[in-house]
A and B are shown apart, each in its own frame.
Chain A
Amino acid sequence: MASDRIFGLITLITAVAYIAAATQIQTNLFSGQFLPKLFPYLIGAVAALSSLVLIFKPDPNPEWPQSPTWINMAIAVAVLSVYAVLITPLGFILPTMFAAGIISYQISPNIKNAVLSGIGLSLLLFVLFKFALGLGNIVAYKIPTLASLWDALTILIPFVGGH
């Protein structure tokens, strides 16, 4: 019940914000005054209507995980995000080793297996992608400078990094 209501509320707010953003769409002579806005309006309207239905007629709650699992999943998101920004300054192997190992540990908490799958996957996948499939833009490793690491990590801080 509550889950669907919250979800409906979030989508309703998003839909209204979407319509508001759509009113600000710039137009010019080629596109006409109204046409670039028409379809976004329709989408927002259908979404808002469906959200209202959901708020007034919610389904039963799903089985949400316990709080330790939430923490685990938040860690997974953090690890993957750091992995995403470090793959450029550090190269493929080192970040992959850590990311794969941590995800493995989170699925099944066994240090030995996690270390093995981290090392194994990073080397195996590198060989597979670089030499068997010939993907060009993967580099085995890079020696980062402090500045490049800092640049990469600030991407994850809102309003500070990212270009």
Chain B
Amino acid sequence: MDILSNLALGFSVALSPYTLMLAIIGCFLGTIIGALPGLGPSNGVAILIPITFTLGLDATAALVLMTSVYYGAMYGGRISSILLNIPGDEPALMTTLDGYPMAKAGRAGDALVLSGVASFVGAFLATIGLMLLAPILARVAFLFGPAEYFALYLLAFCTLGGMASNNQAKSAIAACIGLGIAMIGVDSSSGLPRLTGGNLHLFDGIDFLVAIVGLFAIAEVFFFIENHGKGSAIGVVLDKVRIPWKDIMSTKWTMLRASLVGFIAGVLPGAGASLGSFMAYMSEKSIAGEKGGFGTGVPKGVAAPEAGNNSAAGGALVPMLTLGVPGSGTTAVLLALLMTLNITPGPTLFRENPDVVWGLIASLLIANIVLLLMNVPMVKIFVKILTVPAWVLLPGVTMISFVGIYSLSGSYFDLLLMIGFGVLGYFLRKLDVPTVPVILGILLGGNMEDALRRAMTLSDGDPSYLFSSWIAIGLWVAAFAGFIAPMFLRNILKKPQAVTD
């Protein structure tokens, strides 16, 4: 009954007309952001954070708005996957495998509505899972001392590195770039600057928002300059949109199973939505067997990754809220949002700010329902948005990024730094180095170092203290397994190739 009274508290926060309006605006904006090719949930949310910040919204309002954008972008991502065969971000890749063939077979409308329903089921179940699991995990998290936290951060980097990249060395380098950047600035214990090279602008450290917007949004501009904005024309026709009841009923078990698989993948720190949609698709594919026809445009192949993807997105909020360790790129960006709002995620969040946590959960439920209602009748409007040409979209995104960062500090230095991160992001992505560990490193570096230093202070410099409890040892083992295992599994679990025309 605890949950019900908490939920009532949440809805009392989130159900005011003002926050409802924010939720609707957020869902609408988010779906557009997700649908636009080249803009995914991560960079969409990243661009909007500085603007939300300068708008002076209070914590709950900002959270409602941004989580609506987040969920909206997850929904919207499927539109470009299905119609253009362009995934908005990595987790949407699996949706192209069956979504695009289905659209080419003249069932674009069915695929869009079905994937919308699957997204709803996945996200809804994940939010319920979040409600049940998060308070329990928050209680376990009280057992965590500095040694456990250090191991936990390590686990996040290792699993993320193992999953996100094809080359472990590259993801380790990416994490080190982020962590290394996080060290820059005035050291909190001595009050002396570290690694600033004497540059006064660096004394405050490098703002993670600058890095996020640079790596995600500005880097995209260079990719578009390289491709001259090609590959953004709709090749399939969307005629009348109706609700395909038959497909929805026939995929109900697929959706439920995929939601469960996705949720579990999402809860693992660092693994996130990509793993969720991948596991959901692969498990359904093996259940259906050869006769299932996965990859040729079957409804189950659309429903499974979408349910898994959205469920993982919800699951990723569990470690983010209870432990402060995000499970995916976008939750890393949401963590950045919480930090800008001066809310520190962690076990104490549930005790000290129950209105924020439960308001967030309630707004997730609201956003979900708004999105389902919005997406089925309005899908044609969102499809229209795909026709916005790249030559106006990308300059627009660039300028919004500039204004956002400029409004934070009003300093040219952050803008130049952002351009620098954009160039870095271009080269990293070209070289197949994942950029999410960089972001995560910048975000978590301070906390991770803090945990290590406290552990060293407590134990008087004895490294064996880091392995002094069973929780810590378990986390270390999991971290190594998460880093090493993908090397061996890579040959067995081959990622299916995207469909080509």
Interface residues of A (CB under 8 A from B): 3-4, 7, 11, 15, 18, 21-22, 25-28, 30-32, 34-36, 38-40, 43-44, 46-47, 49-51, 53-54, 57, 59, 62, 64-65, 69, 72-73, 76-77, 80-81, 83-85, 87-88, 92, 96, 99-101, 103-110, 113-114, 116-118, 120-122, 125, 129, 133-138, 152, 155-156, 162
Contact = CB atoms under 8 A, between A and B. Distances in A.
A116 B396 CA distance: 12
A104 B398 CA distance: 10
Given A54-B173, A81-B416, A38 B453 contact: yes
B194 A107 contact: no
Given A44-B176, A59-B167, A135-B403, 12 more contacts: A28-B192, A30-B189, A36-B192, A43-B183, A50-B169, A50-B173, A101-B395, A107-B395, A113-B391, A121-B396, A136-B407, A156-B416
Nearest to B449: A39
Contacts of B407: 129, 135-138
B384 to A, nearest CB: 18
Interface string B175-205: 1110110010001011111110100000000
A22 B195 contact: yes
A87 B402 contact: yes
B395 A117 contact: yes
A35 B398 contact: no
Contacts of A18: 180, 195
12 contacts: A25-B195, A26-B194, A39-B449, A39-B453, A40-B180, A44-B176, A62-B432, A69-B225, A73-B426, A84-B416, A96-B399, A107-B394
The winner among B179, B221, B225 for most chain A CB atoms within 10 A is B225
A99 B177 CA distance: 30
Given A50-B173, A113-B391, A35 B189 contact: yes
Interface in B188-241: 189-195, 197, 218, 221-222, 224-226, 228-229
Contact of B412 (A40, A129, A155): A155
B419 A125 contact: no
Given A4-B431, A27-B190, A39-B453, A103 B398 contact: yes
Interface size class of B (residues with CB under 8 A): 35 or more
B392 to A, nearest CB: 4
Contacts of A104: 391-392, 394-395
A35 B457 contact: yes
A121 to B, nearest CB: 5
Nearest to A39: B449
Given A80-B419, A106-B225, A11 B180 contact: no
B391 A117 contact: yes
A50 to B, nearest CB: 4
Nearest to B50: A135
Contacts of B172: 46-47, 49-50
B399 A47 contact: no
A113 B167 CA distance: 41
Contact of A107 (B173, B390, B406): B390
B195 A99 contact: no
Contacts of B179: 39, 43
B423 A77 contact: yes
B419 A84 contact: yes
Nearest to B391: A108
Contact of B402 (A25, A36, A83): A83
Nearest to A22: B195
Interface of B is mostly: helix
Contact of A40 (B167, B191, B194, B391): B194
Given A40-B180, A96-B399, A107-B390, A84 B457 contact: no
B195 A21 contact: yes
A6 to B, nearest CB: 9
Given A35-B456, A43-B183, A47-B176, A27 B419 contact: no
Closest 6 CB pairs of A and B: A31-B190, A84-B415, A47-B176, A108-B391, A100-B395, A53-B169
Contact of A51 (B173, B389, B422): B173
A69 B192 contact: no
A31 B189 contact: yes
A106 B390 CA distance: 11
Contacts of B427: 7
Nearest to A96: B399
B194 A47 contact: no
B184 to A, nearest CB: 10
A130 to B, nearest CB: 10
Q: Which of A49, A73, A104 has the most CB of B within 10 A?
A: A104
A65 B177 CA distance: 25
Interface string B11-41: 0000000000000000000000000000000
B170 interface: yes
A153 B392 CA distance: 27
B430 interface: yes
